[in-house]
Amino acid sequence: MSHTRGKPYHPQTQGKIERWHRSLKNQILLENYYLPGELEYRIRQFVDYYNHERYHESLNNLTPADVFYGRGQSILDEREKIKR
C-alpha cells in the first residue's frame, strides 16, 4: 500500500480521514472528561469500536478489521448463502 498525500488545508482531498475525525469528535463531545486518562480511554474505545464493530457502507458493510485481515470475502459469501 502506498502513502498518498492530499493538498494541504483542503479537507475535500482528505475525505476519509476528515470523516473519521468528525465521527470521533461527535462521540467524544457527548461527555465531559475530568482527567486526561478518561479522555484517552474513551478515544481508545472509539477506535476499537470503529475498526472492529462498526460496519462501513463503503466496505460492503464489513468492518475495517475484516477487510484488513482478509476475512471480508468469506463473510460476504456467508451472507449470500444465508440470503438464498
User: What are the distances in angstroms from CA 68 to CA 38, 42, 59, 62, 63?
Assistant: 29, 23, 11, 10, 9
> pLDDT tens digits, the chain, 84 residues: what are they?
677 677 777 767 777 788 888 999 999 999 999 999 999 999 999 999 999 999 999 889 999 999 999 999 999 999 999 999
**Containing structural domain, residue 27:** 11-83
The structure's pTM equals 0.74
Domain-located, residue 67: yes
Domain-located, residue 44: yes
Q: How many whole angstroms separate alpha carbon 84 and alpha carbon 80?
A: 6
Domain-located, residue 45: yes
Domain-located, residue 32: yes
Number of domains in the chain: 1
Domain-located, residue 5: no
Domain-located, residue 63: yes
Domain-located, residue 2: no
